[in-house]
Amino acid sequence: MWRRVFQRSLSTLKTGQPIHETRPNLIRKGDITPFISAVEYFQRRVKLAQRLPAKSLVIIPSNIIKYASGAVFYQFQQNNDLFYLSGWNEPDSVLVLAKPTDNIDDLQFHLIVPPKEPAIELWEGQRTGEEGATEIFNADEAHSNKDIERLLSTMIKSYDTVYYDFSSEKSSKFKRFFTSAFKENRPENRHTIEAILRENNKIIKPLTPHLSSLRAIKSNSELRLMQLASRISAKAYNMAYSTHLRSEKGLDSFLSHNFKLAGCDDIAYIPVVAGGANALCIHYTRNDAVLEDGDLVLVDAAGKLGGYCSDISRTWPVNGKFTAAQAELYEAVLNVNKQCIELCRASLGYSLNDIHEQSVKIMTKELRNCGFNDLQSWEVSRDLYPHYIGHNLGLDVHDVPNYSRYAELKQGQVITIEPGVYIPEDDNKWPKEFRGIGIRIEDDVAVGQNNYVVLTKDAKKEIKDLESLGSKMKDLESEVIDVYSAYNL
């Protein structure tokens, strides 16, 4: 188990993902993925194994390539549990962790991976293969996925308890092997992981609760990586405040371009770029309208780096200057944001749910101060602020969804704080000057024991800063393109 953990062979292997030897600008020496070392990946596997009894087997299949239509594929997204334990980022693979005894030195790390195949690699790019899985990713044993059924059948027979999370997704022969198959008598269900588990009469337990507890608490390396992704994303926002863009599409493109140009791998999620009343739709992602002078634009967008996500929402005036009503409502939401961030200290004993309840109380008070007379908290939750205050953040944007929002916050958690208010256009119940305005302000906060760190602090959010940057606005998108007239159609 120990033989390759602390150094890596300077192999001449060509790999299916960046390594230091091929991409030194992306991966530091000793790291498997950005900021995360081979040692840290090893420690993660050990921490998981320490939570499990002897004679346990962990099985985690990778994700597969998904297709939009025909041969047009989406960018590959790995199973983040597998990625968390190994850094392996290729499809059609399986991670197996075998714990035969309570002696952690006996722990075995297996990777079942696509073999090197020049004919396929000519079209689809390099694969790391079995040798790379051992030499670079420190697997104790690596195997070709062409023999997956025999390999797993043999391994399962030697263990009492199998930790495996069932999937309901059906896409390919490989994926079907790891797909729930409860209709036992159908021929196509004979060669699935579930069939093998049934045949061997094994105890099957979910893995998610164990991995969720580990993934929820970030290491110093993870925090540095997430802070860098946030800094890069914040820089793009600050540039956008002083750039005159006339369409949601233009602003979407500007931010996504600058996230990646400044060092992020990609966008962390599909952006929300919502001008004017479009901001009343919380997950508006059409991003195809013209940005109108005098409106606010609500943006929820960020980059990711090394698999880890940033998550930022900001709202600012299209023309660089808030109206009096916009500024008043914006300050109300900003006050909720700031006061809730102050609660992100483990020593206070708050859960994410506690912070949400506080956010509703604070929002109700702030809106009453804005002239929402006799407003009740239940009306805020139902009509004006219908979403939750935040969520855990990490490899997934909504990280470890099974981690309880009622659990007290712990040092090392990263959560979002994202209060918002959305005043319906056509309901005369609410003050007229605020109707049709949607505002959300979201920050990423690393929880400390007696303090906190706002990872997204570089993204300006004070009115004076937004207006200062807006006063220096440069025209980038001089007009919204009408393709019919532009190309004489």
pLDDT in tens, 142-151: 999 998 989 9
Indicate whether 326 pLDDT > 80.
yes
Which of 154-168, 170-184, 289-303 is the least confident region? 170-184
Confidence band, pLDDT 50/70/90 cuts, at residue 2: very low
181: confidence class by pLDDT, cuts 50, 70, 90:
very low
Mean pLDDT of 138-162: 94
pLDDT of residue 180: 43
Class level of CATH domain 217-475: alpha beta
The span from the CA of 312 to the CA of 233, in Å, is 8
> For residue 338, what are the contacts with CB-CB under 8 A and spacing of at least 6?
none
Check pLDDT > 50 for residue 349: yes
Residue located via tokens 């690699």: 121
Share of the chain above pLDDT 90, in %: 85
The residues facing 445 across adjacent strands are: 415, 454
The mean per-residue pLDDT over the stretch 268-283 comes to: 98
Exposure b/e, 117-129, CB count within 10 A at least 16 = b: eeeeeeeeebbbb
Residues 6+ apart with CB under 8 A from 251: 240, 245, 273, 287, 291, 297, 299
Burial call 229-261: b when 16+ CB within 10 Å, e when fewer: bbbbbbbbbbbbbbbbbbbbbbbbbbbbebbee
* pLDDT given at position 409: 99
How does residue 168 score in pLDDT terms, banded at 50, 70 and 90? Answer: low
Radius of gyration of the chain (CA): 25
Q: For the residues of 58-91, what is the DSSP string, one character each?
A: EEEE-----EEETTEEPPP---HHHHHHH----S
Beta bridge mates, 247: 290
Residues 6+ apart with CB under 8 A from 94: 59, 60, 61, 62, 110, 111, 112, 145, 148, 152
The lowest-confidence range among 124-133, 314-323, 479-488 is 479-488
More confident residue, 389 or 7: 389
Which one-letter DSSP state was computed for residue 342?
T
Structure tokens at 314: 């900001």
Confidence bin at 179 (pLDDT 50/70/90): low
Question: Within 10 A of 374 (CB to CB), how many other CB atoms are there?
Answer: 6
Segment 168-186 mean pLDDT: 52
Which sequence spans correspond to the domains of the chain? 31-213, 217-475
Closest C-alpha among 382, 402, 383, 380 to residue 391: 402
Looking at the predicted structure, is the pLDDT value of residue 258 above 70? yes
Q: Report pLDDT for 178.
A: 62
DSSP per-residue string spanning 390-402: --B-SSSSS--TT
Q: Is residue 169 very low, low, confident or very high in pLDDT (cuts 50, 70, 90)?
A: low
Q: Which residues contact 8 (CB under 8 A, 6 or more apart)?
A: 30, 38, 135, 136, 138
Over residues 193-209, the pLDDT tens digits come to 777 877 888 889 999 99
What is the per-residue pLDDT across 81-119, written as a single tens digit (0 to 9) for each? 999 999 999 999 999 999 999 999 999 999 999 999 999
Of 157-161, 182-186, 314-318, 467-471, the range with the lowest mean pLDDT is: 182-186
Q: State mean pLDDT over 378-401.
A: 97
Tokens 């797909």 belong to 179
Give the residue-averaged pLDDT of 266-271: 98
DSSP 344-404: -BGGGT-BHHHHHHHHHHHHHHHHHHTT-TT--HHHIIIII--S-S--B-SSSSS--TTS-
Q: How far apart are CA 143 and CA 154, in angstroms?
A: 13
Please tell me the CATH code under which domain 31-213 is placed. Answer: 3.40.350.10
What does pLDDT average to over the chain? 93
Q: What is the pLDDT of residue 484?
A: 82
What value does the mean pLDDT take over residues 476-486?
80
Q: Which of 6-15, 198-207, 446-455 has the lowest mean pLDDT?
A: 6-15
Q: What average pLDDT score do residues 210-222 get? A: 98
Please compute the mean of the pLDDT values over residues 158-180 and round it to a whole number: 71
Round to whole Å and give the CA distance between 394 and 80.
10
Longest dimension (CA), the chain: 75
333-343 mean pLDDT: 99
> What is the C-alpha separation between 397 and 177, in angstroms, rounded?
28
Round to whole Å and give the CA distance between 111 and 264: 28
